[in-house]
Amino acid sequence: MTALPPIRFATIGFGIMGERLLRAALDHDPQSLKVSGVWDPASDAMQRLARDLPDVPRFDSLAALLAHSDAVHIASPPTYHLQQLEAAADAGVAALCEKPLAVDVAAARATLARVTASKSRAGVNFPFTSSFGVDQLDQWRLDGAVGTLRSVHIEAGFAAWPRPWQMAAASWLSKRDDGGFTREVLSHFIFLTLRQLGPVTLKRARTTYPVGDGAETAITAQLEAGGLPITLSGAVGMTDKPDHNLWVLTGDGGQIRLRDWAVAERQQPGRAWVAPAQPRSNEEMRPLVLKRQLDKVVAMTRGQPHSLATLDEALAVQEIVEAMLKG
């Protein structure tokens, strides 16, 4: 059988997420995936790319990038996601779009209708689809470790927002219109809940904003999925950790949780939380998770089965997030 050529993979937006996945792609199996280049309309981003990764081709327009690619990573700020998703669809190029899909729910629905009608290959980058910690949660549930499910609790805390490694993107991450930790962080855990339990509905929410146009500083919400009650909370300045989060599933047989993005732990009634093995941090696990994501991008591009988040799932998450932010 003749081997398939490697997927030509390009990056739109050389920011934090664009660079992370680009570096993972450069380390990927070259027989499977090959980096074709990067385009970012910001000259300082392209200058940084030329300095830090001089061997990576640089395109001078989105059209040029699409013409030389089989798949793209849309890693630009949320304002541009929908138009770039449509451009990729029009060019017949597969797309992995960063979340949030957008901040305008009506516009997202319209774009998804057009993209879906064109039978385009597209997914959204929720890395929990490739998480080893989530795999462990799935195994515990399969083994009956939780028993009859009772509730879910989601929480996230930050010493400051944006987080230290995001300051280069603070111009939009710190703003109410596009940024905030609910879109950037809590959305991942709403997606995880959707994958674990089914469609999520919002019952009520309360959001605290600073004076001016800054992003939220605190949020609480009650939701429901699969008939289970869900409590959610997030706040800035309530912890000294740059980034702390929990997703906890409670049943009559015990609890399981995902802590700080990557660490799966189990608690039996009256006992301490324990991990199945020596836990590895999110930073240690990230390269392995991104490799799995890229394997799925290759499969998506080739029209093969994959488990990347769908556009419909991302829209469902976005609808919940935007409704929460409106309080």
pLDDT digits (tens, 9 = 90+) for 132-143: 999 999 999 999
What sign does the dihedral 103-308-130-8 (CA atoms) show?
Answer: negative
Q: For residue 90, how many other CB atoms are within 10 A of its CB? A: 13
Kindly state the percentage of the chain with pLDDT values over 70. Answer: 99
Q: For residue 269, how many other CB atoms are within 10 A of its CB? A: 9
What sign does the dihedral 46-50-56-59 (CA atoms) show?
Answer: positive
| Least confident window among 34-48, 109-123, 220-234 | 109-123
The bridge status of strand 71-74 relative to strand 122-124 is unpaired
What sign does the dihedral 155-16-317-208 (CA atoms) show?
Answer: positive
H helices of 118-235, in order, are: 132-142, 170-173, 181, 187-197
Q: Tell me which CATH homologous superfamily contains domain 129-280+316-325.
A: Dihydrodipicolinate Reductase; domain 2 (3.30.360.10)
- For 142-199, strand residue ranges (E) read 149-158
Cα 312 from Cα 85, distance rounded (Å): 14
| Domain assignments of the chain as residue spans, ordered by start | 7-126+288-306, 129-280+316-325
Q: For residue 224, how many other CB atoms are within 10 A of its CB? A: 16
Asked if residue 1 has pLDDT above 70, the reply is no
Q: Identify the residue whose tokens are 């997914």.
A: 123
- Average of per-residue pLDDT across 308-317: 97
Asked if 311 and 116 count as a contact pair (C-beta separation under 8 A), the reply is: yes
The mean of the pLDDT values for the chain is 95
Q: What is the pLDDT of residue 270?
A: 78
Structure confidence by residue, pLDDT tens digits, 156-186: 999 999 999 999 899 999 999 999 999 999 9
Q: What is the pLDDT of residue 68?
A: 98
Structure confidence by residue, pLDDT tens digits, 203-242: 999 999 999 999 999 999 999 999 999 999 999 998 999 9
Asked if residue 327 has pLDDT above 90, the reply is no
SS3 for 251? Answer: strand
Structure confidence by residue, pLDDT tens digits, 242-274: 999 999 999 999 999 999 999 999 997 778 899
CA-based nearest residue to 203, from 226, 221, 225: 221
* CATH number for region 7-126+288-306: 3.40.50.720
Asked if 55 and 78 count as a contact pair (C-beta separation under 8 A), the reply is: no
Asked if residue 280 has pLDDT above 90, the reply is no
Cα 24 from Cα 69, distance rounded (Å): 17
Confidence of residue 323 (pLDDT cuts 50, 70, 90): very high
- Average of per-residue pLDDT across 15-35: 97
Q: What is the pLDDT of residue 271?
A: 83
